[in-house]
Amino acid sequence: MNEVAKNQNFKIERVNRSDITGAEYNPRKISKENEKRLKKALKENGLVVPILVNKRTGNVVSGHQRLKAIDALERTKNYALDVAVIDVDEQQEAKLNVQMNNQSMMGDYDIDALSELMADFDLQIDELGFSEMDAQMLVDDFEDDSTDAETREIAELTTEQVEEEKNRIAEIKSQKKKMREENKNRNDVDYYATLIFPNAESKRQFMHKLNIPEYEKNIFYDNVEKLFKD
pLDDT band with cut points at 50, 70 and 90 for residue 184: low
Which of 127, 52, 126, 32 shows the shortest CA–CA distance to 96? 52
User: For position 107, what pLDDT does the model report?
Assistant: 81
The pLDDT of 156-182, averaged and rounded, is 62
Which of 59, 79, 67 shows the shortest CA–CA distance to 39? 67
User: For position 144, what pLDDT does the model report?
Assistant: 53
pLDDT band with cut points at 50, 70 and 90 for residue 182: low
The pLDDT of 80-95, averaged and rounded, is 97
pLDDT band with cut points at 50, 70 and 90 for residue 159: low
pLDDT band with cut points at 50, 70 and 90 for residue 186: very low
- Rounded to two decimals, the pTM is 0.62
Per-residue pLDDT tens over the stretch 123-140: 888 888 887 777 777 766
Please determine, for residue 15, whether its predicted confidence score (pLDDT) is greater than 50: yes
The answer to whether 172 and 112 have CB atoms below 8 angstroms apart is yes
Q: How many residues does the chain have?
A: 230
The pLDDT of 96-103, averaged and rounded, is 90
